[in-house]
Structure 1
Amino acid sequence: MKKNIGILGGTFDPPHLGHLIIANEVMHKLQLDEIHFMPNQEPPHKERVSGTTAKERVAMLERAIAGNDQFFIETLELNRTGPSYTIDTIKILQEMHPNHQYHFIIGADMVEYLPNWYGIDELIHMIDFIGVRRPGYAMKSAYSVTEVSIPQIDISSTVIRSRLKHGDSVKYLLPDRVIEYIKESGLYEA
């Protein structure tokens, strides 16, 4: 059976309400069947510094998406070593599920960065890119990107980690179950 699958990649360190809003808005506005959250191992464009493990990030994602039967976690990139290039991941997914149509969800910052993506000229013919606005970024690209308008909520994992490190509240920025896991596991402490 053919499915339209939205893929939302990222470090999810931690997964926050902004991620969930993006996934939900794109899924409903484009009538996708499912959203697959895909935590990456080593994003080629940035360095991870938080010290959380892949297992901890997946555990937080499981708690964040609990109760939504259209949200799933795809761990393909976590099972590979080295940089995570989207083109390699999509080739594997298309081999595994040849009847699925993949829609890769990116923020406006990544829309602007598309010319720098490894294999972009081939990748653009393999998947549909879905762009969502982020404050401070334009949605300009020489590549085809379907824009989905979502509520503008300026939440970032970087800011959340900083707040947690300083003992500041993250209530209403993260799902309660994620906050509980962070506290129980002692993540992001000073």
Structure 2
Amino acid sequence: MNNSTIQFEFLFGGTFDPVHYGHIGVIEALTQLSPDIPIRLLPCAIPALKSLPQTTFQQRVEMLELGVSNYSSVIIDQREQLRSKPSYTYETLEMLRQDYSNKRFFLVMGMDSLLSLKQWFQWKSLSQICHLVIVNRPGVTISQAEQACKACGFYLEQTFEKVTLYPVGRCFLLKMPEKKQSSTEIRHLIKNKRTLDSMLPQSVIEYIRNNHLYESE
């Protein structure tokens, strides 16, 4: 394939139940890493390794739309809503590769997800269809990241530009300020009527309140 026709895209999946500043921080870091590369958000309909979301798929999409409204490079892809079985990242990637044969994909995940990657469906095949962008976690060294990437079939590159030279199988460690927010913690705070101002965009907080989300288990 002629390199001039190749396009790149970040893929960032999750339940987003709800979207919070931790997610948005990753989007901001990706935008700074490469402003010209679109970020495709893939809200998960039926998680394979987590409990079911507490809100509907459409509610989570609407919260995402509110939370990322300032980022013109973000695409919210709702294809996983069409599935009646658990969402597998490998299958979604294969679908995207069929739909966009001229694109190379960078699958974005936290270091904790990388460490559990061997639990994923068809994990050994991921290095044959995409690159990884790993978001750092406190205390993780370059050596640890390199070993974790290698164990999953990926080769860690020191620069993102080097990753783009290869079709698949490379990994880049994205260093960004730590965001302590978690969706689990936020749902707990809402149930207990605690403040959320430092954890979520105000538009998402208002949506949650107006729709009485997460007020009970």
Question: What TM-score do you get using the length of structure 2 for normalisation?
Answer: 0.82
Asked if 1:17 corresponds to 2:33, the answer is: no
Choose 1 or 2 for highest CA Rg: 2
Name the CA distance, whole Å, in 2 between partners of 1:147 and 1:30.
14
1:49–1:55 distance in 2 versus 1, CA, 3 Å: closer
Any stretches of 5+ residues in structure 1 without a counterpart?
Answer: none
Q: How far apart are 1:30 and its partner, in Å?
A: 4.3
Aligned length: 189
* Structure 1 residues 131 and 86: CA distance shift in structure 2, 3 A: same
Asked whether 1:39 is paired with 2:43, we answer: yes
Q: Please say if residues 27 and 39 of structure 2, whose CA atoms lie closer than 8 Å, have aligned partners that are also in contact.
A: yes
Match of 2:60 in 1: 57
> How do 1:1-190 residues align onto structure 2 when only pairs under 5 Å count?
2-31=6-35, 33-50=37-54, 52-135=55-138, 139=145, 140-141=147-148, 142-143=151-152, 144=154, 145-190=171-216
Deviation per residue, 1:90-141 (Å, 9 max, x gap): 1110111111111110011111011222112212110011111234776451
Change (3 A) 1:188 1:148: same
Equivalent position amino acid for 1:161 in 2: R
| Aligned partner of residue 124 in structure 1, secondary structure | helix
Question: Hey, what's the Cα distance between the residues in 2 that align with 1:103 and 1:40?
Answer: 17
Could you list the structure 1 runs, at least 4 aligned residues long, displaced by more than 4 angstroms after superposition. Answer: 135-138
Displacement after TM superposition at 1:36 (Å): 1.1
Percent identity (aligned): 30
Contact 1:38-1:75 within 8 A present in 2 as well: yes
Letter of the aligned partner of 2:72 in structure 1? D
- Kindly tell me: are residues 10 and 184 of structure 1, through their superposed partners in 2, closer, same or farther at Cα, counting changes over 3 Å? same
Can you give the 5+ residue segments of structure 2 that lack an aligned partner in the other structure? 155-170
Question: Are the aligned partners of 1:135 and 1:152 in contact in 2 as well (CA < 8 Å)?
Answer: yes
Where 2:128 maps in the other structure, the secondary structure is coil
2:72 & 2:134 partners in 1: Cα distance? 23
Instruction: Give TM-score, length-normalised by structure 1.
Output: 0.93
Instruction: Give the secondary-structure state (helix, strand or coil) at the position aligned to 2:213.
Output: coil
Q: Indicate conservation of the 8 Å contact 1:103/1:129, yes or no.
A: yes
